[in-house]
Amino acid sequence: MTVITPTMLFSADFFHNHVEPLVSAGILVGGGFFAARLLSVSIAKTLVKQLTPQQAMLLRRFIFYFIFLLFIASAVDQLGFHIGALLGAAGILTVAIGIASQTSMSNIISGIFMIGEKPFEVGHRIKVGDVTGKVLSIDLLSVRLRTSQNTMVRIPNETLIKSPITNLSYFPIRRVEIKIGVAYNENLNRVKDTLFAVANKNPLSLIEPKPTLNVIEFGDSSIDLQLCIWTSRTNYNELKNTIQIEIHQAFAEANIEMPFPSRSLYAGSGSEPLPIKIIS
């Protein structure tokens, strides 16, 4: 066993054989981190006009990790380790981890397919099952969404591949659908004219495509209608809120009845009518 004396610690050979490799490795790792970060951001900014936000993010991460790993390999070589042997051990370890984590591999493969298909991009608003939110990031394992309640939801890529995805930001315009019930004694043509007047007056409503009115069904207490109005996707929520207030006001001014559910009680032909007492 070799005993290191104070004299050996300050000798030139000790510094050259032990301290200098550690300092060089540390400089390579630290410098590599900043160099990888700088180059990845610079290249992504240069190509930002040719790439989507999702592609720019993936390119930035790929360049960062690729350059950083090269510097780490150089640092390991400075410490006297054989890169070939380390790569062989890393390969065996990777295979073992891959077999043990089949779910992660499934997510990675699903992520690659999804990146190639591009059903949505970073910044789009999507709906997956009961979750609706804005896409924050698209990674190889999962996609992160920010909901309207300002919470983050992580959805594995395997789940996304197997589930129907509704992209609410894919097209520039969207259709607002408002369900309305009117009394059976109302003139439907007058109701239609009133609704179209409200829709055309709203500045968020598009002229083309034109608003439409559909009769859904004859309900128990009302004739159920559906008013369809087109607007830009950025104005969807605002139009949906304002148009319902305007419809309520227009119906009140035109004396159009919006009935509430009612029931008739019949006790049978052999019974006396139910007494009704009016309290003034």
pLDDT for position 204: 94
Which residue spans of the chain are classified as CATH 2.30.30.60?
A: 114-167
Which residue spans of the chain are classified as CATH 3.30.70.100?
A: 173-254
- What are the average pLDDT values for consecutive 10-residue runs of the chain, which has 280 residues? 50 56 73 78 70 67 75 71 57 53 69 78 90 88 91 90 90 94 92 94 92 92 94 93 94 90 64 63
For the domain 114-167, what is the CATH code?
Answer: 2.30.30.60
pLDDT for position 131: 92
In angstroms, rounded to a whole number, what is the distance separating the alpha carbons of residues 274 and 266? 9
In angstroms, rounded to a whole number, what is the distance separating the alpha carbons of residues 239 and 236? 5
Q: Which residues contact 108 (CB under 8 A, 6 or more apart)?
A: 140, 141, 157
Q: Please answer whether residues 127 and 168 qualify as being in contact, where contact means their C-beta atoms are separated by less than 8 angstroms.
A: yes
pLDDT for position 73: 73
Q: Please answer whether residues 240 and 178 qualify as being in contact, where contact means their C-beta atoms are separated by less than 8 angstroms.
A: yes
| Secondary structure of residue 257 in the 3-state scheme | coil
pLDDT for position 100: 45
pLDDT for position 115: 72
> Top-level CATH class of 173-254?
alpha beta
